[in-house]
Amino acid sequence: MTVVIWALIGFFSGALPFSVWVGQFAMGTDIRQYGDGNPG
């Protein structure tokens, strides 16, 4: 059961756009507006 929980935690933490959030809070801008629009 714990393997399933850790797999779900890993999946959802990888699916969240942390780079967009960090850019928004650190710089106050949407980093998707620069370059090709890919935050990764």
Task: Give 6-27 pLDDT, tens digit per residue.
Answer: 999 999 999 999 999 998 999 8
Q: Would residue 24 be called left, alpha or beta, if left means φ above 0 and alpha means ψ between -120 and 50 degrees? A: alpha
Q: Which tokens is 13 given?
A: 């933490």
Count each helix (H run) and each strand (E run) in the chain, helices first.
2, 0
More confident residue, 21 or 40: 21
Count of CB atoms situated within 10 Å of the CB of 19:
13
**How many CA atoms within 13 Å lie on the side-chain side of 15?**
6
Q: What is the model's pLDDT at position 12?
A: 93
On whether the pTM is more than 0.75, the answer is no
Q: What is the model's pLDDT at position 39?
A: 86
